[in-house]
Structure 1
Amino acid sequence: MIGKVNDEFFQKAILPETGAMTPEVVVGPSMGVDAAILKIGDQFMAIAEDPIFPGPTTSPEDFGWITVHIGASDVAVMGIKPQFMTYSLLIPPDTNEEYIARLVRSISETARNLGISIVGGHTGFYGAVNVPTIGGITVWGMGREYITPAGARVGDAVLITKGAAIEAAALLGSELGDSLRSAGITEELVGQASQRIKEMTVVEDALLAAACGGVHAMHDATEGGLARGLWEVAEASGVGLRIERSQVMVPPDVKAICSHFQLNPYEVISEGTLVLTVDPDKVGDVLKSYEMAGIPAAVIGKVVPQGEGRRWLEVDGSEQDLLPPPVDHFWEVFFGALSQG
């Protein structure tokens, strides 16, 4: 198995093992929660942790950008601006210093552009490491209020940004471009997909929405894609969903690449797709804010009572259960294709 541990093992073996209980922990570890919330004085701290590794052809500049944005996104979805970070860089013994310097410079420049201060970390060579790896990036920030994935309310509109399978298309387009072109996918579509590397962030998406008010829940659709992201918000909030599949944006390049690899675009990794539930009276403000920022967004459904279930509404009028995929098939496709050259 590649990727996150399965839900059953997480709930049985990991979730109960969280050390000492302290009153400062307002929001602790939970299924689908992107960051912890601690009460520090009269403010709330959002803090998150992520590992990051590059693809075989990822430049140190893109690796640095992705590192910061993935870590910062998990704080931003809590409605709090990322302010500080540390990271551990683990590198193979034969890594040249120029690569390391470029990567560290990119991390610093990306953090600076987001207003994040790097306040510590670790860098070292390790024989057990095969590729330069961020063993962990920790990002945190302080605010007077916070949002969690558990805040969705019956009657809320459900919105997403950018569309489905953003990360899957970006990584497959970047790493397997020659294979895709050989299969007849146009240079334009492959180029569009590879450029989505810089869409693998929800920092701006989340902070813009939070500033509008009326946002009750936010979540980044990472492993398991949009389907899992939606389900996790509903599960954490104890609500049902009615999601119109036809309203979910699946850009042409994403559709072409997912079709080629026989991937369901609704169920594969999609870092960069923000799922949010919003008071109906504030939907217009959120959409206008996104339009002004050039961020594609759409209303795809609504929050309903839990007893009404979680359903995909299809164009032909039929309904399907909205369930979290047990496995994100992106990983087996990605690493399988890489191993075949």
Structure 2
Amino acid sequence: MARSGGGIRRARKENLLPAGKLPVRLLDRLLKKYASGGPGVVIGPSIGIDSAIVNIHGTLLAAKSDPITFVSDNIGAYAVFVNANDIAAMGAAPKWFLATILLPEGKATAKMAEQIFAQISSACDEAGAVLCGGHTEITPGINRPLVTGHMLGTLHGKKPVTSAGAKPGDALILTKGIAIEATSVIARELAAKLKGSFSAAFLKRCANYFKAPGISVVKDARVAMANGPINAMHDPTEGGLSAALHELSLASGCSIIVEQNLIPVLPEAKALCEFFGIDPLGAISSGALLISAPYGRAKKITAALEASGILSAVIGKVEAKGRGVRIIADGKTKKLKHFERDELTKILV
């Protein structure tokens, strides 16, 4: 019996899913089985699609929901920006934000609640949105605050921009750089492990990545849209740029090639990723925006971004119809690893 029981325990352990996003194949199957759409649903859930689009009496609204699970510091602002980014990546302007705020039983205070509300309010002002509803409670079974955000937005134009719109021949533009959010999260959540190896000034800069270069891409998307046409945009979050490129390829049905030496990695991001032995290509990258646009417009778009104070670079291109992402590194072309599990989970979980 002991042997049999041990086998059952091992089987159960093998069936557990790791931290991070649901595996792509599992999520794809679940969406196809249970999320078939309905009246008013213009764009429903799909791999690589940042937000839903719904038609309400002739008005198209973008809708998004996302939780904040990696951080506890400044969690209210993170919730706003992460949801606003997905709205912006669909070619929409974030307008209305709802928050579900769960505070840990035994630790929750009025001060904690007010800090989160103040963070949400300030971030909404920056994103151009308003807090219009939500839910709060003191929750048993958690050890830190959790916030899930829900954002609604209105389209800038008549049609949404989706990851499915990338076309063969498009240039791929990346704003700011990779692992921006990861850098801020590491500096805030793992400060004790870093103090002996980096200066206080360096760690302050890393923690401030949340604000500079910043994790919001609302401005990035607005500038790009004004200087388009833009065929597709995507917001690299969990799984980093690698996951975003694979999702873009899957959504558009096109193959992609990028060059590693063209991908911006800011010095602080590179240093912290190297310190913990994680790959910045697979680390959460809110703050960067992946843009797919006709190659002939790339120079105008990057120039407009730079004029607005936003670093940008052409990192590759969309190729023929098909699927898959390749990367040119050290003179060799190879398949780009798909990080279904964010690199941060190696050091935070």
Normalised by the length of structure 1, the TM-score is 0.90
SS in 2 for 1:51: strand
Alpha carbons 1:88, 1:123 under 8 Å: kept: yes
Question: In structure 2, what is the Cα distance between the partners aligned to 1:175 and 1:80?
Answer: 32
Question: In structure 2, what is the Cα distance between the partners aligned to 1:88 and 1:307?
Answer: 40
CA drift at 1:30: 0.4
SS in 1 for 2:93: coil
From 310, 321, 328, the equivalent of 2:335 is: 321
CA drift at 1:233: 0.6
Alpha carbons 1:231, 1:323 under 8 Å: kept: no
Alpha carbons 1:185, 1:256 under 8 Å: kept: no
Structure 1 residues 262 and 38, CA gap change in structure 2 (3 angstroms): same
Structure 1 residues 54 and 247, CA gap change in structure 2 (3 angstroms): closer
Residue identity opposite 1:200 in structure 2 = I
Aligned to 1:72: 84
CA drift at 1:237: 0.3
Aligned to 1:211: 226
Structure 1 residues 138 and 264, CA gap change in structure 2 (3 angstroms): same
Alpha carbons 1:225, 1:267 under 8 Å: kept: yes
Question: In structure 2, what is the Cα distance between the partners aligned to 1:272 and 1:113?
Answer: 14
Alpha carbons 1:225, 1:270 under 8 Å: kept: yes
Question: In structure 2, what is the Cα distance between the partners aligned to 1:308 and 1:116?
Answer: 36
Structure 2 matches for 1:93-132, cutoff 5 A?
93-94=105-106, 95-132=108-145
Aligned to 2:195: 181
Structure 1 residues 327 and 290, CA gap change in structure 2 (3 angstroms): same
Residue identity opposite 2:288 in structure 1 = T
CA drift at 1:218: 0.7
Structure 2 matches for 1:6-25, cutoff 5 A?
6-18=23-35, 21-25=37-41
Alpha carbons 1:53, 1:132 under 8 Å: kept: no
Per-residue CA deviations over 1:47-71 (Å, capped at 9, x if unaligned) read 0001124635x1xxx2222111111
Identity of aligned residues (%): 31
SS in 2 for 1:277: strand
Aligned to 2:64: 48
Structure 2 matches for 1:1-341, cutoff 5 A?
1-18=18-35, 21-53=37-69, 55=71, 58=73, 62-94=74-106, 95-134=108-147, 136-143=148-155, 144-182=158-196, 184-198=197-211, 199-307=214-322, 310-316=325-331, 318-335=332-349
SS in 2 for 1:26: strand
CA drift at 1:101: 1.3
State the number of aligned residues: 327
CA drift at 1:154: 0.8
Question: In structure 2, what is the Cα distance between the partners aligned to 1:327 and 1:53?
Answer: 14
Residue identity opposite 2:83 in structure 1 = G
Question: In structure 1, what is the Cα distance between the partners aligned to 2:248 and 2:70?
Answer: 28
Residue identity opposite 1:86 in structure 2 = L
Per-residue CA deviations over 1:184-232 (Å, capped at 9, x if unaligned) read 3344433332111222222221122112221111111111111111111
Which runs of 5 or more residues in structure 1 are unaligned? 336-341
Residue identity opposite 2:216 in structure 1 = T
